[in-house]
Protein backbone atom coordinates (compact mmCIF):
# COMPACT_ATOMS: atom_id res chain seq x y z
CA UNK A 1 0.00 0.00 0.00
CA UNK A 2 1.92 3.11 -1.17
CA UNK A 3 1.68 6.29 0.84
CA UNK A 4 1.27 9.64 -0.89
CA UNK A 5 1.11 13.15 0.51
CA UNK A 6 -1.18 15.58 -1.31
CA UNK A 7 -1.14 19.22 -0.20
CA UNK A 8 0.32 18.12 3.14
CA UNK A 9 -2.24 15.35 3.78
CA UNK A 10 -0.88 11.80 3.84
CA UNK A 11 -2.96 8.85 2.69
CA UNK A 12 -2.32 5.16 2.09
CA UNK A 13 -3.91 3.86 -1.11
CA UNK A 14 -4.11 0.53 -2.97
CA UNK A 15 -1.43 -0.19 -5.59
CA UNK A 16 -2.19 1.32 -8.99
CA UNK A 17 -4.30 4.21 -7.61
CA UNK A 18 -3.93 7.43 -9.58
CA UNK A 19 -3.09 10.72 -7.87
CA UNK A 20 -6.55 12.03 -8.77
CA UNK A 21 -8.31 9.09 -7.14
CA UNK A 22 -6.03 9.33 -4.09
CA UNK A 23 -7.06 13.00 -3.82
CA UNK A 24 -10.73 11.99 -4.15
CA UNK A 25 -10.21 9.56 -1.26
CA UNK A 26 -9.06 12.53 0.84
CA UNK A 27 -11.80 14.77 -0.59
CA UNK A 28 -12.44 18.50 -0.28
CA UNK A 29 -10.73 21.43 -1.97
CA UNK A 30 -7.52 19.55 -2.74
CA UNK A 31 -9.22 17.36 -5.38
CA UNK A 32 -8.05 18.50 -8.84
CA UNK A 33 -10.78 19.32 -11.36
CA UNK A 34 -11.31 16.77 -14.16
CA UNK A 35 -12.91 17.57 -17.50
CA UNK A 36 -12.17 14.37 -19.43
CA UNK A 37 -11.55 11.65 -16.80
CA UNK A 38 -14.71 9.74 -15.87
CA UNK A 39 -14.35 6.94 -13.35
CA UNK A 40 -17.16 4.91 -14.99
CA UNK A 41 -15.58 5.02 -18.44
CA UNK A 42 -12.56 2.82 -18.91
CA UNK A 43 -9.56 4.48 -20.57
CA UNK A 44 -10.90 8.00 -20.10
CA UNK A 45 -8.58 10.82 -19.00
CA UNK A 46 -5.34 12.30 -20.26
CA UNK A 47 -6.97 14.64 -22.80
CA UNK A 48 -7.77 17.95 -21.15
CA UNK A 49 -4.91 18.56 -18.66
CA UNK A 50 -7.14 20.36 -16.14
CA UNK A 51 -6.20 17.79 -13.50
CA UNK A 52 -2.49 18.65 -13.56
CA UNK A 53 -0.56 18.59 -10.29
CA UNK A 54 3.01 19.29 -9.23
CA UNK A 55 4.99 16.27 -8.05
CA UNK A 56 7.67 17.64 -5.76
CA UNK A 57 8.99 14.20 -4.79
CA UNK A 58 8.64 11.26 -7.19
CA UNK A 59 8.91 8.51 -4.57
CA UNK A 60 10.77 7.51 -1.41
CA UNK A 61 13.32 5.58 -3.52
CA UNK A 62 13.80 8.34 -6.09
CA UNK A 63 12.94 11.66 -4.40
CA UNK A 64 13.64 13.81 -7.48
CA UNK A 65 10.72 16.09 -8.43
CA UNK A 66 9.00 15.50 -11.74
CA UNK A 67 10.23 18.13 -14.22
CA UNK A 68 6.79 19.42 -15.25
CA UNK A 69 3.17 19.21 -14.08
CA UNK A 70 1.61 15.78 -14.63
CA UNK A 71 -1.97 14.72 -15.39
CA UNK A 72 -3.15 13.36 -12.03
CA UNK A 73 -5.84 11.20 -13.67
CA UNK A 74 -3.16 9.24 -15.53
CA UNK A 75 -0.26 9.17 -13.07
CA UNK A 76 -0.19 6.40 -10.51
CA UNK A 77 0.94 6.96 -6.98
CA UNK A 78 4.40 5.79 -5.86
CA UNK A 79 5.33 5.11 -2.26
CA UNK A 80 6.60 8.33 -0.66
CA UNK A 81 5.33 10.58 -3.46
CA UNK A 82 4.69 14.21 -2.51
CA UNK A 83 2.17 16.17 -4.56
CA UNK A 84 1.02 19.77 -4.59
CA UNK A 85 -2.22 21.06 -5.99
CA UNK A 86 -3.84 24.08 -4.35
CA UNK A 87 -0.77 24.74 -2.20
CA UNK A 88 1.34 25.56 -5.27
CA UNK A 89 0.78 29.03 -6.80
CA UNK A 90 2.84 27.95 -9.88
CA UNK A 91 0.55 25.02 -10.46
CA UNK A 92 -2.59 27.17 -10.17
CA UNK A 93 -1.06 29.56 -12.69
CA UNK A 94 -0.35 26.64 -15.05
CA UNK A 95 -3.96 25.44 -14.69
CA UNK A 96 -5.13 28.92 -15.58
CA UNK A 97 -3.21 28.51 -18.84
CA UNK A 98 -4.92 25.16 -19.48
CA UNK A 99 -8.34 26.76 -18.97
CA UNK A 100 -7.38 29.57 -21.34
CA UNK A 101 -6.52 26.96 -24.00
CA UNK A 102 -9.80 25.11 -23.44
CA UNK A 103 -11.63 28.38 -23.98
CA UNK A 104 -9.70 29.36 -27.10
CA UNK A 105 -12.40 28.02 -29.40
CA UNK A 106 -15.25 27.84 -26.93
CA UNK A 107 -17.98 30.41 -27.60
CA UNK A 108 -19.09 32.67 -24.75
CA UNK A 109 -22.72 31.78 -25.29
CA UNK A 110 -23.56 30.75 -21.71
CA UNK A 111 -26.61 33.07 -21.69
CA UNK A 112 -28.24 30.98 -24.42
CA UNK A 113 -26.65 27.58 -23.69
CA UNK A 114 -28.79 24.84 -22.13
CA UNK A 115 -25.82 23.60 -20.12
CA UNK A 116 -25.37 26.92 -18.30
CA UNK A 117 -25.73 26.42 -14.56
CA UNK A 118 -24.50 22.83 -14.71
CA UNK A 119 -21.55 23.25 -17.08
CA UNK A 120 -18.22 21.92 -15.83
CA UNK A 121 -16.33 24.33 -18.09
CA UNK A 122 -18.28 27.30 -16.77
CA UNK A 123 -17.50 26.25 -13.18
CA UNK A 124 -13.87 25.57 -14.08
CA UNK A 125 -13.51 28.99 -15.71
CA UNK A 126 -14.95 30.70 -12.63
CA UNK A 127 -12.72 28.79 -10.23
CA UNK A 128 -9.49 28.45 -12.17
CA UNK A 129 -9.68 30.67 -15.23
CA UNK A 130 -8.36 34.12 -16.08
CA UNK A 131 -10.91 36.92 -16.32
CA UNK A 132 -10.14 37.61 -19.97
CA UNK A 133 -8.55 35.99 -22.99
CA UNK A 134 -5.50 36.93 -25.04
CA UNK A 135 -6.82 35.17 -28.12
CA UNK A 136 -7.39 37.50 -31.05
CA UNK A 137 -7.89 35.18 -33.99
CA UNK A 138 -11.03 33.82 -35.54
CA UNK A 139 -12.54 30.94 -33.56
CA UNK A 140 -13.47 27.76 -35.32
CA UNK A 141 -17.19 27.25 -35.74
CA UNK A 142 -19.42 24.40 -36.93
CA UNK A 143 -23.03 24.03 -37.99
CA UNK A 144 -25.27 22.38 -35.39
CA UNK A 145 -26.04 18.77 -36.24
CA UNK A 146 -28.93 16.50 -35.28
CA UNK A 147 -27.58 13.10 -34.29
CA UNK A 148 -30.82 11.23 -34.10
CA UNK A 149 -34.16 12.70 -33.08
CA UNK A 150 -33.21 13.25 -29.43
CA UNK A 151 -29.65 14.64 -29.43
CA UNK A 152 -28.25 17.87 -30.82
CA UNK A 153 -24.51 18.19 -31.43
CA UNK A 154 -23.15 21.71 -31.20
CA UNK A 155 -19.54 21.01 -32.09
CA UNK A 156 -18.48 24.64 -31.60
CA UNK A 157 -18.78 24.06 -27.84
CA UNK A 158 -16.97 20.70 -27.76
CA UNK A 159 -13.69 20.52 -25.83
CA UNK A 160 -12.76 17.11 -27.28
CA UNK A 161 -12.78 15.30 -23.97
CA UNK A 162 -13.69 11.98 -25.72
CA UNK A 163 -16.17 10.98 -22.99
CA UNK A 164 -19.09 10.59 -25.41
CA UNK A 165 -17.03 8.32 -27.65
CA UNK A 166 -16.22 6.10 -24.66
CA UNK A 167 -19.94 5.91 -23.86
CA UNK A 168 -20.59 4.86 -27.44
CA UNK A 169 -17.74 2.34 -27.24
CA UNK A 170 -18.49 0.84 -23.86
CA UNK A 171 -22.26 1.04 -23.42
CA UNK A 172 -23.43 0.06 -26.87
CA UNK A 173 -22.29 -2.41 -29.48
CA UNK A 174 -22.98 -0.17 -32.43
CA UNK A 175 -20.60 2.72 -32.29
CA UNK A 176 -21.25 5.11 -35.15
CA UNK A 177 -19.43 8.19 -34.01
CA UNK A 178 -15.94 9.21 -33.04
CA UNK A 179 -13.32 11.90 -33.43
CA UNK A 180 -12.37 12.70 -36.99
CA UNK A 181 -9.29 14.62 -38.12
CA UNK A 182 -6.52 15.99 -35.92
CA UNK A 183 -5.39 19.19 -34.19
CA UNK A 184 -7.44 22.27 -34.93
CA UNK A 185 -9.60 20.29 -37.35
CA UNK A 186 -10.55 17.56 -34.89
CA UNK A 187 -14.29 17.12 -34.43
CA UNK A 188 -16.84 14.71 -33.05
CA UNK A 189 -18.76 13.26 -35.93
CA UNK A 190 -20.93 10.41 -37.05
CA UNK A 191 -20.24 8.68 -40.37
CA UNK A 192 -21.58 10.97 -41.85
CA UNK A 193 -24.26 12.64 -39.73
CA UNK A 194 -25.79 9.24 -39.19
CA UNK A 195 -28.22 8.99 -36.29
CA UNK A 196 -26.79 7.74 -33.02
CA UNK A 197 -29.61 5.37 -32.36
CA UNK A 198 -29.34 2.85 -29.53
CA UNK A 199 -30.87 2.29 -26.12
CA UNK A 200 -28.12 4.11 -24.21
CA UNK A 201 -27.20 6.98 -26.53
CA UNK A 202 -28.77 9.54 -24.17
CA UNK A 203 -25.93 8.97 -21.70
CA UNK A 204 -23.67 10.91 -24.05
CA UNK A 205 -25.65 14.00 -23.02
CA UNK A 206 -25.00 13.36 -19.32
CA UNK A 207 -21.25 12.77 -19.67
CA UNK A 208 -20.64 15.80 -21.90
CA UNK A 209 -19.01 18.37 -19.59
CA UNK A 210 -20.14 21.30 -21.76
CA UNK A 211 -23.18 22.12 -23.87
CA UNK A 212 -21.96 20.32 -26.98
CA UNK A 213 -24.43 17.44 -26.68
CA UNK A 214 -27.86 18.50 -25.51
CA UNK A 215 -31.23 16.86 -25.02
CA UNK A 216 -33.53 18.01 -27.83
CA UNK A 217 -36.60 17.31 -25.70
CA UNK A 218 -35.35 19.88 -23.15
CA UNK A 219 -33.54 22.45 -25.31
CA UNK A 220 -34.61 26.02 -24.54
CA UNK A 221 -37.50 24.89 -22.31
CA UNK A 222 -36.07 26.43 -19.13
CA UNK A 223 -32.90 27.53 -17.38
CA UNK A 224 -31.85 24.63 -15.15
CA UNK A 225 -31.91 26.78 -12.03
CA UNK A 226 -35.65 27.34 -12.48
CA UNK A 227 -36.27 23.59 -12.36
CA UNK A 228 -36.59 21.37 -9.30
CA UNK A 229 -34.66 18.09 -9.36
CA UNK A 230 -36.31 15.17 -7.62
CA UNK A 231 -34.98 11.62 -7.14
CA UNK A 232 -37.28 8.95 -8.52
CA UNK A 233 -37.15 5.34 -9.69
CA UNK A 234 -39.14 2.83 -11.69
CA UNK A 235 -38.89 -0.85 -12.34
CA UNK A 236 -36.94 -0.88 -15.61
CA UNK A 237 -35.80 -4.02 -17.42
CA UNK A 238 -32.97 -2.26 -19.27
CA UNK A 239 -31.29 -0.09 -16.62
CA UNK A 240 -31.31 0.67 -12.88
CA UNK A 241 -34.32 2.96 -13.38
CA UNK A 242 -32.83 5.41 -10.85
CA UNK A 243 -33.11 8.93 -12.22
CA UNK A 244 -33.46 12.60 -11.43
CA UNK A 245 -36.68 14.22 -12.64
CA UNK A 246 -36.41 17.95 -13.37
CA UNK A 247 -39.76 19.61 -12.67
CA UNK A 248 -41.12 22.99 -13.55
CA UNK A 249 -44.44 23.31 -11.76
CA UNK A 250 -45.99 19.88 -12.07
CA UNK A 251 -44.43 19.19 -15.46
CA UNK A 252 -41.36 16.98 -15.93
CA UNK A 253 -39.17 18.94 -18.34
CA UNK A 254 -36.33 16.44 -18.53
CA UNK A 255 -34.99 13.24 -17.03
CA UNK A 256 -31.31 12.59 -16.37
CA UNK A 257 -29.15 10.07 -14.57
CA UNK A 258 -28.23 11.03 -11.00
CA UNK A 259 -24.83 12.67 -10.68
CA UNK A 260 -22.38 12.47 -7.78
CA UNK A 261 -20.31 15.29 -6.29
CA UNK A 262 -17.76 15.00 -9.09
CA UNK A 263 -20.47 15.44 -11.72
CA UNK A 264 -20.30 11.78 -12.77
CA UNK A 265 -23.47 9.73 -13.25
CA UNK A 266 -24.12 7.21 -10.49
CA UNK A 267 -25.51 4.67 -12.96
CA UNK A 268 -26.22 4.98 -16.66
CA UNK A 269 -29.88 4.98 -17.71
CA UNK A 270 -31.67 3.80 -20.85
CA UNK A 271 -33.38 6.02 -23.41
CA UNK A 272 -36.82 4.73 -22.47
CA UNK A 273 -36.44 6.09 -18.91
CA UNK A 274 -34.83 9.29 -20.18
CA UNK A 275 -37.09 10.26 -23.06
CA UNK A 276 -40.34 8.33 -22.85
CA UNK A 277 -41.46 8.52 -19.23
CA UNK A 278 -42.31 12.15 -18.71
CA UNK A 279 -45.41 11.67 -16.52
CA UNK A 280 -45.20 11.70 -12.73
CA UNK A 281 -47.37 8.56 -12.65
CA UNK A 282 -44.52 6.66 -14.38
CA UNK A 283 -42.29 7.10 -11.32
CA UNK A 284 -41.97 6.40 -7.61
CA UNK A 285 -40.85 9.74 -6.16
CA UNK A 286 -38.13 9.54 -3.50
CA UNK A 287 -37.67 13.21 -2.61
CA UNK A 288 -35.67 16.35 -3.49
CA UNK A 289 -32.31 15.73 -5.12
CA UNK A 290 -29.29 17.07 -3.29
CA UNK A 291 -27.26 19.40 -5.49
CA UNK A 292 -23.70 20.38 -4.60
CA UNK A 293 -23.45 23.81 -2.98
CA UNK A 294 -21.18 25.09 -5.72
CA UNK A 295 -23.92 24.71 -8.32
CA UNK A 296 -26.06 27.66 -9.24
CA UNK A 297 -28.99 25.22 -9.22
CA UNK A 298 -28.90 25.16 -5.43
CA UNK A 299 -29.14 28.94 -5.13
CA UNK A 300 -32.45 29.75 -3.41
CA UNK A 301 -33.18 26.08 -3.77
CA UNK A 302 -36.36 24.57 -2.40
CA UNK A 303 -34.29 21.75 -0.88
CA UNK A 304 -32.57 24.32 1.34
CA UNK A 305 -35.99 25.61 2.34
CA UNK A 306 -37.06 22.06 3.19
CA UNK A 307 -33.91 21.61 5.25
CA UNK A 308 -34.60 24.87 6.98
CA UNK A 309 -38.13 23.73 7.81
CA UNK A 310 -36.74 20.43 9.07
CA UNK A 311 -34.16 22.20 11.24
CA UNK A 312 -36.84 24.47 12.68
CA UNK A 313 -39.11 21.49 13.47
CA UNK A 314 -36.21 19.61 15.10
CA UNK A 315 -35.29 22.70 17.09
CA UNK A 316 -38.90 23.10 18.19
CA UNK A 317 -39.06 19.46 19.28
CA UNK A 318 -35.87 19.87 21.33
CA UNK A 319 -37.21 22.96 23.02
CA UNK A 320 -40.55 21.28 23.67
CA UNK A 321 -38.74 18.48 25.45
CA UNK A 322 -36.80 20.95 27.61
CA UNK A 323 -39.80 23.14 28.54
CA UNK A 324 -43.33 22.77 27.28
CA UNK A 325 -44.43 25.47 24.83
CA UNK A 326 -46.04 28.40 26.63
CA UNK A 327 -48.76 30.45 25.06
CA UNK A 328 -47.78 34.14 24.90
CA UNK A 329 -49.92 36.80 26.49
CA UNK A 330 -51.30 37.72 23.02
CA UNK A 331 -52.36 34.12 22.46
CA UNK A 332 -49.57 33.39 19.96
CA UNK A 333 -47.41 30.34 20.55
CA UNK A 334 -43.83 31.17 21.48
CA UNK A 335 -40.82 28.91 21.89
Q: What is the 3-state secondary structure (H, E, C) of 295-321?
A: CHHHCCCHHHHHHHHHHHHHHHHHHHH
Query: Is residue 36 a contact residue for ligand FES (CB under 6 A)?
Result: yes
DSSP string, 82-134: EEESTT-HHHHHHHHHHHHHHTSS----GGG-TTTTS-HHHHHHHHHS-SS--
Q: How far is the CB of 187 from ligand SF4 (least distance, A)?
A: 9
Between 9 and 186, name the residue whose CB sits nearer to ligand SF4.
186
Q: How far is the CB of 123 from ligand SF4 (least distance, A)?
A: 14
Cite the DSSP H helix spans in 144-258. Answer: 163-171, 203-207
Query: Is residue 34 a contact residue for ligand FES (CB under 6 A)?
Result: yes
Query: Is residue 202 a contact residue for ligand FES (CB under 6 A)?
Result: no
Query: Is residue 265 a contact residue for ligand SF4 (CB under 6 A)?
Result: no
Query: Is residue 209 a contact residue for ligand FES (CB under 6 A)?
Result: no
DSSP-derived secondary structure letter, 233 = E
From 40-48, 60-68, 204-212, 254-262, give the range in contact with ligand FES by CB under 6 A: 40-48
- CB under 8 Å to 265, separation ≥6 — which residues? 40, 203, 206, 207, 256, 257, 258, 259
Contact (CB, 8 A) for 53 and 85:
yes
Contact (CB, 8 A) for 202 and 269:
yes
Query: Is residue 48 a contact residue for ligand FES (CB under 6 A)?
Result: yes
Q: How far is the CB of 16 from ligand SF4 (least distance, A)?
A: 26
Q: How many residues form the binding site for ligand FES (CB under 6 A)?
A: 13
- Find which of ligand SF4, ligand FES, none residue 212 binds, CB within 5 to 8 Å per kind: ligand SF4
DSSP-derived secondary structure letter, 206 = H
Query: Is residue 212 a contact residue for ligand SF4 (CB under 6 A)?
Result: yes
Instruction: Give me the sign of the Cα torsion angle 186, 188, 191, 192.
Output: negative
List 102, 210, 257, 296, residue binding ligand SF4 (CB under 6 A): 210
Contact (CB, 8 A) for 196 and 190:
yes
Q: How far is the CB of 74 from ligand FES (least distance, A)?
A: 6
- Find which of ligand FES, ligand SF4, none residue 46 binds, CB within 5 to 8 Å per kind: ligand FES
Query: Is residue 41 a contact residue for ligand SF4 (CB under 6 A)?
Result: no
d(CA 62, CA 185): 41
Judged by the rule CB under 6 A, the positions of this chain that interact with ligand FES are 34-37, 45-51, 71, 73
Amino acid sequence: MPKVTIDGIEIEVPDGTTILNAARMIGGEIVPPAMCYYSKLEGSGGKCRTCIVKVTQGSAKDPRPMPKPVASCRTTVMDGMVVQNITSPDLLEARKGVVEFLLVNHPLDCPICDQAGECDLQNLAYKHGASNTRYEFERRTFEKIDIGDKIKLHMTRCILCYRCTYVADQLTNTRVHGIMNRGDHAEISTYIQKAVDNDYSGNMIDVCPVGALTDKTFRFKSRVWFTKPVDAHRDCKKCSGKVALWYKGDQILRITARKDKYGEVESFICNECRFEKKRTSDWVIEGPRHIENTSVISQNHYETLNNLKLQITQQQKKLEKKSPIQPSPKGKTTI
